[in-house]
Amino acid sequence: MSLRLPDLHDQRSQQFILLQSSAVQSSLPVLRNILNHRPNTNSKLVLFCFLHPPSSLVNEAQLASGNVAVHDFLDLVPGYSDDWKDPREEIKAIVESETTTTLDVVIDSVDTLLSDTGNVPEVYSFLKSLLALVLSRSKTSRLILHINTPCPLLPLLCSTSFSSSLIHLIAHPHALLTHIAKEYLTFPPPISPAPKFWGVFIPVSERVHETERLVLQGSGSGDPKEFIVEILLRGGSDGSGRRKGVERALEGWDTENDRAVELSKLTSLAKILDKKIIEEASPDPTQNVSFNLQLTPSQQEARARVPLPYILEGRETAQSAPPPGAILYDPDSADDIDDDDPDEDLDI
């Protein structure tokens, strides 16, 4: 089965991408890969940094090119910076002033933007207007948002009222799949049926505090080498132009090689995914017997020539009809031969 994460580089697929991180697993490696492998060289990347430095998101070659515009808001913190002001109007003005037709507008991260402004409805309204502004540029422009959970903006950004099409990428620690396999005896498809797996995985993964306790009581905050990416695709169209419904999948991410892999390729999940189906052959009753049950062709011909002293089964035989009922009369000396009543001493 082909991987879905590499298809994100096809800008025809979706125009709104939401990457979700948590305290126990970050999705920054996926975001970094998306930004550094943009297929359209004519598109311009407009990056607004509120949480992570630009160097952790875009490589030096991209920063040196003229197709990347970085706007660093890391030092502007309300209550700590004298020259702080609401960045929303500045962000909108920067996007409107760009002359390039195709834009990739990235905000890292919207939960930090919300904490700076402190108003959920206003930030939601701003992001919706920003999405409309990006989509008005061209069909290949994209709005890419990074969010850390828990955040009250998350369900609003995932709703169809914000965008009918969506790529939602959620980073999970691989310990979550191990926990579900051990406690619920449920494995990722195709080992377990997809409805059964998602019926267990979704509610368990949404218990943020349980997932944090599961990881933080173990080996630390996630694995820096590999993790799980939950992919939710809604609306949009693929390369053939066909309309998509809602699709959900799980894939692995190899941080060292900076690429998506199948779950079976993750070394951390080898113990639970290495479920080889062993087909047990049914016992053969003809084995280990003291006589031969297999006849050679010559033996079968000799057996066929043996005259049978009985009628073969299934062959119907003509049966004679039973004789009609009769009265048996054997007169003897004790009989009373009487012409008037000859039937007095009949032996029936």
pLDDT at 279: 41
DSSP state of 5: G
How does pLDDT run across 76-121, given as a tens digit for each residue? 888 787 788 889 999 999 999 988 888 999 999 899 999 988 889 9
Listed range (17-26, 30-39, 120-129, 216-225) with the worst mean pLDDT: 216-225
Residue 215: φ, ψ to 5°: -85, -45
* Per-residue pLDDT tens digits for 149-175: 899 999 999 999 999 889 999 999 998
- The DSSP element (H or E) to which 81 belongs, if any, is none
pLDDT at 290: 72
Does residue 185 contact residue 243 with C-beta atoms inside 8 Å? no
Tens-digit pLDDT profile for residues 305-337: 888 776 655 555 556 666 676 666 666 656 655
Mean pLDDT of 271-280: 58
CA distance 89 to 111: 17
| Sign of the torsion angle spanned by Cα atoms 279, 280, 284, 285 | negative
Residue 286 has pLDDT above 90, yes or no: no
CA distance 31 to 51: 13
pLDDT at 346 exceeding the cut of 60 = no
Catalogue the E-assigned strands of the chain. Answer: 16-21, 44-49, 68-72, 103-108, 142-148, 166-172, 226-234, 246-254, 259-261
pLDDT, one tens digit per residue, over 199-212 is 999 999 998 888 88
Decide if pLDDT at 238 tops 70: no
Helix, coil or strand: residue 211:
helix
> pLDDT class for 277, splitting at 50, 70, 90?
very low
Which pLDDT does position 10 carry in this prediction? 66
Q: State the pLDDT at residue 335.
A: 60
Average of per-residue pLDDT values in the chain: 82
Beta 16-21 vs 103-108: how paired, if at all? unpaired
pLDDT at 30: 94
Is the pLDDT at 37 greater than 60? The verdict is: yes
Q: Could you read off the pLDDT of 73-86 as tens digits, one per residue?
A: 988 888 787 788 88
Q: Give the rounded percent of residues in the chain with a pLDDT score beyond 90.
A: 39
Question: What is the structure's pLDDT at 296?
Answer: 82
